[in-house]
Structure 1
Amino acid sequence: MTTNGASAIEALKEYNTQTHSVMLREDKILTDKKGNMRKKVKVAKLPIPYQQYINEIALVFLYGRPVKWSQLSDGTDAVFDKFQDVLKRTRFDSKIRECKRIAGCETESAMLFRVFKDDKTGEPDVQIRVLAKSKGDDIYTRFDQYENLISVAWGYRVKEKDNKVVEHFDIFTPESIYRCTHGSLGWDVQEEQNLIGKIPVILFQQEKEWHGVEALIEREEHIASRTADTNDYFADPVAVFDADAIKNLPEKDAVGKSLYVKSGQKTTEAMHYVTWDSAPESKKDEIEWLQNQILTNSFTPHITLDTLKSLSTLSAKALRTVMMLADIKAAKRKEKHDELLDRTASLVLAIIGNVLDVSLHAQCETASIGHEFQEPFGEDVSDDLKDIAQALDAGILSTETAVEMNPLVKDVTREMERLKAEQEERQQQQLSIFGDAAGAGAQSFTDGNEDEDDEEDDADGDGDEKKDDKKKTKSDK
């Protein structure tokens, strides 16, 4: 088995600003004419935390938003619900971000899935622990010639009741787990069955996020520190005095300083100031060149307050173009993290089917779960929704497929159930409305026929009566 502990320690020294090489600059010693030390002058030590900035930007563009999981198999809804519940209870999103951050600064980290029996409920449960050199863990791995992981070992130390530190070493294989304890007479090894059936460790290995720009960062730190020393010496004006003209010199910390000159001596002739007009342009140009090379060669965009103001009005697609360097780096990391997430899904399914809920074992064997990385600044979904709506109206896309393609939908099955319920509700409303309208229309049609019959009766009888009334009225007149 091999370990990456030495590389992790060296990377941590570069990541921690207090252990940068510029911090080893020695203070300047001032001596008198006889060589005796008069005093010690501190020199500037200015470490620049480029490593932390580069690592955080890389983390945001890969896991800035949680991974989106999807169910790719049919008839496994119960397993998928349990899968999402396990990820939520174990705080998987925060744990994987922690692992990626540590791997970016230490070159190695791991997620250990521990299954145990809950003391309160008596039911099996699972939790995630992040392993790293900075947390006091030793990670050992063993691969075959085809780069298949054969076993993983975790070395750690435990303080017992009598403040005695005991060294432990757990070895995980698909079939067994070996619990090793270092005692006074050697190693005590206890073998137990691995109920999960898989190695319960997700291993993160990569180079440092600032790999390739270490010398550039160190150079800028030394230039900045020496420039600060130069500023201390020459940035403030220096007074030049005529020793014959000046009678006394004030103390450096005196209040209300004054100079006494000989009579007849002009002050402007007795003293004047020497000032440093500007720093060398070559040093300024070199610092700017170093900053540009450090960020460009580490595929890190230069984000400042000024750039944030200009980016606030850009769309997600425009932001992706501006942050192209970080997007390229994230795409490179996804080549490896795609495999890690696939193995995570397989491991969680094995934990569910073999430990947490054995009744779902058959579904776990047939279940298929996919994943998708999300954009760190969100996606501009307006164009996608417009295209989906046009395809649905044109009849070349089914409703279920449109729901699956909708980026705003998190649970496709539940959304289809909601759409079906809303459609049935609308049909019931339309049926009730149009049913009453049909009845009212029939009633009005009947009333209209009765009115027509009355008019026909009046036409036969009332018409003559009206004529007789008119004759009577005329005769009366």
Structure 2
Amino acid sequence: MGLLNIISNEVKAAIGYQQNFADLLTAKDVTRALSMMKAHAEEAANNLREYKIDTHKVMERKDRAVYDKKGNFLRWSKRWKIPIPYPQFINEISLVFLYGRPVKWQQLSTGTDYAFQNYKDWLNEIHFNAKVREAKRLAGAEGISAILYHVYRDSDNKPSLLLNVLSRENNDDIYTIRDQYKRITAFAWGYYLTEAGNNTVYHVDIYTKETVYRAKRGKMGWEVEIKDNPIGKIPVLIFEQTPEHKEVQPMIERSEIMESTDADTNDRFSNPAMVATSEILNSLPKSEEEAKLFILKNGGDVRYLTWNEASESKKNEFERLDKHILSKSFTPNIDFDNMKSLGNLSAKAIRKVMLLAVIKAERHKEKHDDYMKRHANLMTAILGNVLDYRHKAEYDALLLRHEFQEPFGEDVSELLADLSKQYNDGALSRETYVELSYLVKDAKQEIERLKQEETERMEQQMELNKMDVFGGAE
């Protein structure tokens, strides 16, 4: 964008010239276009500072200056800074109970077997399960993350796809525009690239359903490349939530300060100090000497002054804080001792023990159900419009259903016993029985095998019947 365009845009803005979002981008006025979008970077950075232990508030504690009686500086006395990684622990437990096992996909439509198989193959190709876990972990820390579906041509000039997880920790800026129904109408990704001459340049990629704007900040304004969006959808999946640790952050800070000040107190008072009530006639034994003999006069006494324990109220507060931090963030207290006691429990019993995390996972599913539906719609659009457009009609007809799996698995023996009972009672068809059996990896293939075996048995029975008939005739 030249100098005249910059001056023209400034004049139009000064006189109240109204430009909508698309007009600003067409005019290559990216700065004002971004100002119309919601920027998430600052809030995400603030949340990330609370999440990462090296930027916790307790790390701001300064060492204490020590002076003599005359006010002369003697030395610095170390003050401990002990951050406690509660946010990471809370976040990881939440992640495991939602995406600890991959999302299970099922086909609801008929005549779309090819599309469904290709859909599952591409999920493996783009490492979808790993990317979803990464995005959920980052959203739990920062409050927002995004998965960008990037379509490109590979080394063989064939269309391909990769997933790029965006977050503040990865130095990405996320911008959004939503309509009154909270639907994304525009998405922008800001990032820095090092170009020729070792110059770091800021780029912004802006996506709408129809158009992709690739902008680069130059010395004289923005350089903008405009392309059609071949997918027909904004190729991004945005994860938004309140950070997992946010509601208990004040208690975390209190616990860290108490832990640090207690460490200072231990340094000052936990080592015993010798107190003598009379003159010691011999010199004090050296620390490396095994025998220690003190010779006193005038009936003197020597004893050690020790600090036995902290106050009971402080101990109780430590315990209360730990309990409330975990319970109020819906996080079960999972440690080695607790897990040992779960040794022979069934998955159903473990689920009850971990009820707090289960409740949180169910609450997250309110949003993540929509996220998985949007992912399925995005993938079928990408497959039908770009990657495998020859079978577009089949992808358009493909109907998918997803299911979140329990992190500790299911009581499969009970499930199979229940299925067998219902099948024997005539309440289930053989096809449904096979589809629901955990022992069967490919239900369709297994049903074909059963049909083949049944055909072979019928043929064998017919041969036996013929032999019986001939035998009777003789």
Confirm or deny a common fold (TM above 0.5).
yes
Q: Distance in 1 between matches of 2:459 and 2:343?
A: 47
Unaligned runs of 5+ in 1: 447-477
Does 2:60 align with 1:24?
A: yes
Q: Secondary structure at the match of 1:135?
A: coil
Deviation at 1:435, TM superposition (A): 5.5
Does 2:43 align with 1:12?
A: no
Q: Equivalent residue for 1:64?
A: 100
Q: Equivalent residue for 1:224?
A: 259
Q: Distance in 2 between matches of 1:169 and 1:310?
A: 53
Does 2:192 align with 1:157?
A: yes
- 2:212–2:226: 8 Å Cα contact kept in structure 1? yes
| Distance of aligned partners of 1:247 and 1:366 in 2 relative to their CA distance in 1, 3 Å threshold | same
Does 2:362 align with 1:331?
A: yes
Q: Distance in 1 between matches of 2:154 and 2:456?
A: 45
Q: Equivalent residue for 1:203?
A: 238
The worse-fitting range, judged by mean Cα deviation, of 204-213 and 415-424 is 415-424
- Write out aligned runs for 1:17-416 (5 A): 17-119=53-155, 121-242=156-277, 244-246=279-281, 248-249=283-284, 261=295, 264-265=297-298, 269-416=300-447
Tell me how many residue pairs correspond in the alignment: 438
- 1:245–1:270: 8 Å Cα contact kept in structure 2? no
| Distance of aligned partners of 1:427 and 1:239 in 2 relative to their CA distance in 1, 3 Å threshold | farther
Deviation at 1:243, TM superposition (A): 5.8
Q: Distance in 2 between matches of 1:376 and 1:427?
A: 44
Q: Identity over the aligned pairs, expressed in percent? A: 46
Deviation at 1:416, TM superposition (A): 2.1
Q: Distance in 1 between matches of 2:60 and 2:135?
A: 31
| RMSD over equivalenced CA pairs, Å | 2.1
Match of 2:99, as an amino acid?
Answer: Y
| Distance of aligned partners of 1:257 and 1:181 in 2 relative to their CA distance in 1, 3 Å threshold | farther
Q: Secondary structure at the match of 2:185?
A: strand
Q: Distance in 2 between matches of 1:417 and 1:66?
A: 27
- 1:58–1:329: 8 Å Cα contact kept in structure 2? yes
Cα deviation 1:420-459 (Å, max 9, x = unaligned): 2333344445555x359638x928x95xxxxxxxxxxxxx
Does 2:468 align with 1:442?
A: no
User: Normalising to structure 1: TM-score of the pair?
Assistant: 0.87
- 2:384–2:393: 8 Å Cα contact kept in structure 1? yes
Q: Distance in 1 between matches of 2:406 and 2:192?
A: 40
Runs of 4+, deviation exceeding 6 Å: none
Cα deviation 1:377-411 (Å, max 9, x = unaligned): 00112222222212221223211222333344454
Deviation at 1:367, TM superposition (A): 1.1
Q: Distance in 2 between matches of 1:2 and 1:189?
A: 21
Deviation at 1:275, TM superposition (A): 2.0
Cα deviation 1:94-132 (Å, max 9, x = unaligned): 00000000000011111111111112x222111111111
Deviation at 1:281, TM superposition (A): 1.1
| Distance of aligned partners of 1:431 and 1:280 in 2 relative to their CA distance in 1, 3 Å threshold | farther
Q: Distance in 1 between matches of 2:72 and 2:290?
A: 34
Unaligned runs of 5+ in 2: 1-36
Q: Distance in 2 between matches of 1:243 and 1:21?
A: 48
User: Normalising to structure 2: TM-score of the pair?
Assistant: 0.88
